[in-house]
C-alpha cells in the first residue's frame, strides 16, 4: 500500500488543516515567512488568477526563475488546477529556452528578471517580439503557436506581460466554486510536472511526472531521514530540479515540516540560515558542502541544531563526507541516488547506516520500488558484487518523455523496468554502489575502464581536492584515459607527479595518459559535472599543445 493516492493539492490542504499556523516556508535573508495557512491562501489566489487568464487542467506552464518565493506558489497553484509545471533550467540561454518552449507546447511562461549574466526579460522579448505589440493574454506568436501569456514574477511591469501582483488580484475576482470544480476532476495519475533532463548528454527530454510519482517519493525520502513536523530543512539547491522539488519541498511537506529557502546558493547565506532558523537538515551536492565547511568564516556559525540531510548529484569524496558528519554535525546525513525519470530517488541510505555504508554506497532500495542490476548486453540479472546496469520498477517510474515515444521505449522496457544507463553493484546485504555510466565507460584497446574507480583512487593522493576522469579519442587505442584534477590550496602537485605516483599504484592501462590541472569543472545548474564538455576541452587542449 502506497503512502498516498492524493493529489498534491489535496494533500497540501490536509496539512493546512493539521498545522495551519506552523511555518511552512521561510526566506531568512528576506525576513519572509509563510505559515501553512497563509501560503495556502496565496496559492489559491494565484490558482484562480491562472484560471482567469485561460490556464486550466492539462495546460503547460513554464517557470524560468531562481528560487524566489513565488516559485513555490506557482508549483502548488498549477497542481491545484491540474496544469503541468514545466521547470526550466536557470542556466539556460536563448537557444535552450526556445527548444523547451517549443518542445513542451508551453501555453504560459513565468520568469524573473535575470540569472547571472542572462537578462531573462530581454531574452524572452528577443524570442517572442510579438509580446511588445500583442494584448496581454492574446499573444499570437508565429514561432511559438501555443504560447498565450508571459508572466513576470515580481512587481515591475513589462510590456505584454502580466505580473504576479496582477494575477493575484485577478484571482480574487474568480469564484471559489470554479477552483473547487476543477479540483474534483483531478487524479493522482495525472501528469503534473515536466522536468527536462539536465542535458549532460544529447537533447534535453521532457520527463512527465505525476502527483503519485513525486508526492510518494518525497514521503519515503523524508522517512529515510526520520523527518517529523519538527524538522526545518535548509534548501539551497535549485527548485527546477527534482532535488529541490521532491527531495526538498515534498519530503518536507509530507512530514509537516518547515522549508528554509536559499534563493541562490552562497555558502555564507547557507551557514547564516542554518544558525538563524535552527535548521535540522541541510541539502546539497558535494561541492556545496565543501564550499560551506571550507569557508573562512565557517567557525563563526552554530551548526549544533543540524542532524540529517541529503548529499546527492555526484559522488562525494570520503574525506569531505567525514567533515560534514564531524564538523557540520550532520551525524545522520544520507546519500540518495536516482534520476529524474524515477521521480527521482530509488535507493537511499538511512540515518541508522554506518558511516562506511554512507560514504561507500547509495543505500538500499526504497519502499515499494524494485531494483535490479543486469548485464547491459544480455539483460540477465548479475550476481552480488558483479557490475551491471541498475534498473528500477514501481510507482515512481515516469509516464514517459513528452512527445518522444521511441526514447520512452528505450528507457522503459516492456516489463516496466526503467533502465538508468548507470553501472552499479549490489552486495549481499542489498547495498548499492554506483560505479559509473555505461556511456562514460572508457574502452582502451579492448579494456573496459570505469572512470569512477580511477577518480576514487586520485582522491587518495595528498594535494588532490577533486578529480574527474574521461575518455579521450585516440587513433591507436580508440580511447585513452584523461583526468581533470582540482588541487587543494597551496598544493604544488604537477601532472607528472600525479602520473608517476599512479603508475606505482594502479594498473598501467588505467593510469591517465593526460592530466589537466583546473580550478573548476563545467557544471549543469543542478551541480552535475558535464563530462562531455571535459572531453571536448581535452581534445582542444591537446590540439593546441601539438600546434
> Tens of pLDDT along 60-115?
999 999 999 999 999 999 999 999 999 998 888 888 899 999 999 999 999 999 99
Compute the chain's Rg from CA coordinates.
Answer: 24
Domain range 8-21+32-196, CATH architecture: 3-Layer(aba) Sandwich (3.40)
The C-alpha atoms of residue 410 and residue 121 are separated, in whole angstroms, by 37
Please, which pLDDT band fits residue 390 given cuts at 50, 70 and 90? very high
Structure-block grid coordinates of residue 381: 540479472
What's the confidence (pLDDT) of residue 414?
A: 96
Question: What are the tens digits of pLDDT across the range 30-61?
Answer: 999 999 999 999 999 999 999 999 999 999 99
For residues 145-173, average pLDDT: 96
The C-alpha atoms of residue 255 and residue 276 are separated, in whole angstroms, by 22
- CA distances for 33 relative to 2, 24, 42, 70, 250, angstroms: 32, 8, 12, 12, 18
For residues 518-522, average pLDDT: 94
Instruction: Determine contact, residues 232/261, Cβ cutoff 8 Å.
Output: no
The C-alpha atoms of residue 320 and residue 313 are separated, in whole angstroms, by 15
The C-alpha atoms of residue 253 and residue 34 are separated, in whole angstroms, by 13
* Low-confidence winner among 110-119, 294-303, 470-479 (lowest mean pLDDT): 470-479
CATH superfamily of 442-546: ANL, C-terminal domain (3.30.300.30)
Residue with the bigger pLDDT between 6 and 200: it is 6
Please, which pLDDT band fits residue 201 given cuts at 50, 70 and 90? very low
The full set of domain ranges for the chain reads 8-21+32-196, 442-546
What's the confidence (pLDDT) of residue 471?
A: 93
The C-alpha atoms of residue 47 and residue 74 are separated, in whole angstroms, by 8
Q: What is the DSSP letter of 181?
A: H
Is the confidence at residue 145, as pLDDT, over 80? yes
Largest CA distance in the chain: 75
- Among the listed residues 507, 547, 515, the one whose alpha carbon sits nearest the alpha carbon of residue 534: 515
| Proportion of the chain above pLDDT 70, given as a percent | 98
Question: What are the tens digits of pLDDT across the range 353-385?
Answer: 998 898 889 999 999 999 999 998 899 999 999
Instruction: Determine contact, residues 502/512, Cβ cutoff 8 Å.
Output: yes
For residues 413-430, average pLDDT: 96
The C-alpha atoms of residue 399 and residue 539 are separated, in whole angstroms, by 38
For residues 191-214, average pLDDT: 84
The C-alpha atoms of residue 545 and residue 542 are separated, in whole angstroms, by 5
Contacts of 132 (CB under 8 A, 6+ apart): 125, 159, 160
What's the confidence (pLDDT) of residue 518?
A: 96
- Among the listed residues 155, 27, 156, 12, the one whose alpha carbon sits nearest the alpha carbon of residue 77: 12
Structure-block grid coordinates of residue 109: 511562461
**Quick check: bond before 344 cis, omega within 30?**
yes
For residues 112-121, average pLDDT: 93
Element (H or E) spanning 308, and its range?
strand 308-311
Neighbour tally for 416: CB within 10 Å = 12
Angle between helices 164-171 and 36-52 (to 10 degrees): 90
3-state secondary structure 100-152: HHHHCCCCEEEECCEECCEEHHHHHHHHCHHHHCCCCCCCCCCCCCCCCEEEE
The C-alpha atoms of residue 247 and residue 337 are separated, in whole angstroms, by 11
Q: Which string of DSSP letters, residue by residue, matches 486-529? A: EEPTT----HHHHHHHHHTTS-GGGS-SEEEE-S---B-TTS-B
The C-alpha atoms of residue 314 and residue 330 are separated, in whole angstroms, by 18
For residues 121-133, average pLDDT: 96
What's the confidence (pLDDT) of residue 202?
A: 53
Residues paired with residue 86 on neighbouring β-strands, in sequence order: 62, 194
Please, which pLDDT band fits residue 490 given cuts at 50, 70 and 90? very high
Average pLDDT, the chain: 93
Amino acid at each position: 500500500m502506497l503512502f498516498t493516492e492524493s493529489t498534491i493539492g489535496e494533500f497540501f490542504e490536509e496539512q493546512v488543516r493539521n498545522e495551519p499556523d506552523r511555518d511552512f516556508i521561510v526566506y531568512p535573508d528576506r525576513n519572509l515567512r509563510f505559515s501553512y495557512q497563509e501560503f495556502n491562501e496565496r496559492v489559491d489566489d494565484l490558482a484562480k488568477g491562472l484560471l482567469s487568464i485561460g490556464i486550466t487542467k492539462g495546460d503547460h506552464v513554464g517557470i524560468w526563475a531562481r528560487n524566489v518565493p513565488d516559485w513555490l506558489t506557482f508549483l502548488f497553484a498549477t497542481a491545484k488546477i491540474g496544469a503541468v509545471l514545466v521547470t526550466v533550467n536557470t542556466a539556460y540561454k536563448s537557444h535552450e529556452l526556445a527548444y523547451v518552449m517549443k518542445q513542451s507546447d508551453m501555453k504560459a511562461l513565468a520568469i524573473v528578471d535575470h540569472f547571472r549574466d542572462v537578462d531573462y526579460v530581454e531574452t524572452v522579448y528577443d524570442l517572442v517580439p510579438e509580446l511588445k505589440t500583442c494584448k496581454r493574454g492574446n499573444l499570437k506568436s508565429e514561432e511559438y503557436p501555443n504560447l498565450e501569456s508571459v508572466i513576470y514574477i515580481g512587481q515591475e511591469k513589462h510590456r505584454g506581460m502580466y505580473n504576479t501582483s496582477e494575477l493575484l488580484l485577478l484571482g480574487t475576482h474568480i469564484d471559489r466554486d470554479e477552483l473547487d470544480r476543477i479540483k474534483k476532476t483531478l487524479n493522482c495519475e495525472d501528469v503534473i510536472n515536466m522536468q527536462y533532463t539536465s542535458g549532460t548528454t544529447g537533447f534535453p527530454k521532457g520527463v512527465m511526472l505525476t502527483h503519485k510519482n513525486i508526492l510518494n517519493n518525497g514521503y519515503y525520502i523524508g522517512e529515510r531521514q526520520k523527518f517529523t513536523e519538527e524538522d526545518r530543512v535548509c534548501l539551497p539547491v535549485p527548485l527546477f530540479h527534482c532535488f529541490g522539488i521532491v527531495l526538498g519541498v515534498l519530503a518536507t511537506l509530507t512530514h509537516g515540516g518547515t522549508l528554509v529557502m536559499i534563493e541562490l546558493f552562497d555558502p555564507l547565506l547557507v551557514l547564516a540560515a542554518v544558525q538563524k532558523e535552527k535548521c535540522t537538515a541541510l541539502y546539497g551536492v558535494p561541492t556545496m558542502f565543501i564550499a560551506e565547511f571550507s569557508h573562512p568564516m565557517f567557525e563563526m556559525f552554530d551548526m549544533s541544531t543540524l542532524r540529517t540531510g541529503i548529499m546527492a548529484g555526484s559522488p562525494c569524496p570520503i574525506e569531505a563526507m567525514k567533515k560534514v558528519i564531524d564538523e557540520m554535525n550532520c551525524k545522520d546525513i544520507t546519500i540518495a541516488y536516482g534520476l529524474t525519470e524515477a521521480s527521482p530517488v530509488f535507493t537511499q541510505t538511512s540515518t541508522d547506516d554506518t558511516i562506511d555504508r554512507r560514504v561507500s554506497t547509495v543505500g538500499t532500495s526504497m519502499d515499494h520500488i524494485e531494483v535490479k542490476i543486469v548485464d547491459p548486453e544480455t539483460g540477465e540479472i548479475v550476481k552480488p558484487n558483479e557490475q551491471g546496469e541498475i534498473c528500477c520498477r514501481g510507482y515512481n517510474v515516469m509516464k514517459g518523455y513528452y512527445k518522444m515515444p521511441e526514447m520512452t521505449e528505450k528507457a522503459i522496457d516492456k516489463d516496466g523496468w526503467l533502465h538508468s544507463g548507470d553501472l552499479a553493484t549490489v552486495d549481499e546485504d542489498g547495498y548499492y554502489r554506483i560505479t559509473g555510466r555505461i556511456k562514460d565507460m572508457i574502452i582502451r584497446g579492448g579494456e573496459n575502464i570505469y572512470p569512477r574507480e580511477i577518480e576514487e583512487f586520485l582522491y587518495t593522493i595528498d594535494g588532490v581536492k577533486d578529480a574527474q576522469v574521461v575518455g579521450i579519442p585516440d587513433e591507436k587505442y580508440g580511447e585513452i584515459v584523461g583526468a581533470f584534477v582540482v588541487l587543494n590550496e597551496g598544493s604544488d602537485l604537477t601532472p607528472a607527479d600525479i602520473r608517476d605516483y599512479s603508475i606505482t599504484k594502479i594498473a598501467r592501462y588505467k593510469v591517465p595518459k593526460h592530466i589537466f590541472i583546473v580550478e573548476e569543472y563545467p557544471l549543469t545548474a543542478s551541480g552535475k559535472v558535464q563530462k562531455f564538455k571535459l572531453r571536448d576541452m581535452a581534445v582542444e587542449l591537446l590540439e593546441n599543445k601539438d600546434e
